[in-house]
Amino acid sequence: MEDKELLKTLCMSHGPSGREHWLGDYVTEVFSEFGQVTRDNLNNIIIHKKGKGKGKIMLMAHLDEVFMIITEVKENGFLAFKGNGIDPKTLVSKEVIIHGKEAIRGIIGIKPPHLMKDEDRKKAVTIDSLLVDTGYSKESLENIVKPGDYVTVKGNYKELLNNNVSVKTVDDRGGVVALYRCAKELKNIEHGMDVYFVCSAQEEVGHRGAKTATNRINPDIGIAVDVTFDCGMYGLEHGDTELGKGGVICIGPNIHPKVRKHLMKVCKEYNIPFQLEVEAGNTGTDAWDIQVAGEGVATLLISIPIKYMHTSVETVNMDDIKNTGYMMAKLIESIKGEELEELVCF
């Protein structure tokens, strides 16, 4: 399967935190050619590809997406909701899917500025000021939707110039495609370590899948694959990561220094483009929980730069996804059994 085809199918599917099983069967089918597939009680999908030596390496990308959840069916048939991980101002006029007894479409609306008082126009958009309009009456809507039902943003896949793609949920299904690309590369590579590909659950609500999967696998090395910001478009002073310049290798206390330096050496040896990003504390990714599982895990974070994170138009460069998968495959190939213990020790 081509990377773009897989990305489109994954990103146009819906699977908010706690409901990853909505696309779990498809992911299981896609990865089944690479090894034994299991799903744990939290709905992590784990693919085990055996090596010919010792040691275990785990590659993890989260499958869940940011979401909203219904709190009330209003008298006029509108729906009130709470959000998770979404900036309210990006939701105005967005088309959404309400996952009730059946999936129905809605539009998120806000009081028009023409009808607002002057002081209200100056206020920031809040979740409380937004409602979902479905066009249903309250009586009809209550037969379909109830408090606790999930809402996700409707996607619209578009291929752009320079091998860029725009669609919802590149965070982090672009990472899942990078795992797939790595697995394809490893089919033609002899490797010593057992490889565990993990499509993790509930990252967006506290990295919960990372905790359970890492404790179960107990890897020697754990790599979280997630997304980061294209800083070039904003002129941000604290970073210079951009689309099309390769996967982003993180540096900081969440990251094992020797394994990170080894990865950079591998990238230079094989002319794999990469970028660097510094995080002084919590990376806000599965890497944070991978590192402290069990007796501690030598951890890396590789991020794919995107634009417009947590919106319906997240934009990514497909070469960055491909090169992220390739750098992980070459890293795995480079680590021989006798070198592993020395590499993961400080």
pTM above 0.75, yes or no: yes
Q: pLDDT at position 123, please?
A: 72
Nearest-angstrom CA–CA distance, 192 and 179: 18
- Domains 3-65+168-344 and 68-153 are alike in CATH topology: no
153 - beta bridge partners?
A: 96
Q: Which CATH architecture has domain 68-153?
A: Beta Barrel (2.40)
Q: Could you tell me the fold of the domain covering 3-65+168-344?
A: Aminopeptidase (3.40.630)
Nearest-angstrom CA–CA distance, 47 and 59: 10
Nearest alpha carbon to residue 151 among 87, 92, 201, 104: 104
Nearest-angstrom CA–CA distance, 178 and 19: 22
Coil, strand, or helix at residue 63?
coil
pLDDT digits (tens, 9 = 90+) for 120-161: 666 778 999 999 999 999 999 999 999 999 999 999 999 999
261: phi then psi, degrees, rounded to nearest 5: -65, -35
Residue 203 appears among annotated catalytic residues: yes
Count of CA atoms in the C-beta half-sphere (13 A) of 54: 5
Domain boundaries, the chain: 3-65+168-344, 68-153
Coil, strand, or helix at residue 29?
helix
Count of CA atoms in the C-beta half-sphere (13 A) of 9: 16
For residues 248 and 276, is the Cβ–Cβ distance under 8 A? yes
pLDDT band at 248 (very low <50, low <70, confident <90, very high): very high
178: phi then psi, degrees, rounded to nearest 5: -65, -40
Least confident of 4-8, 208-212, 231-235, 330-334: 231-235
- Angle 320-326-332 from CA coordinates, rounded to 5°: 140
Q: pLDDT at position 16, please?
A: 98
For residues 308 and 160, is the Cβ–Cβ distance under 8 A? no
Active-site pick, 20, 185, 203, 242: 203
Mean pLDDT value across residues 4-31: 98
Task: Return the percent helix, strand and coil in the chain, to nearest 5.
Answer: 35, 25, 40
pLDDT band at 238 (very low <50, low <70, confident <90, very high): low
Known binding positions for Zn(2+): 62, 171, 204, 226, 310
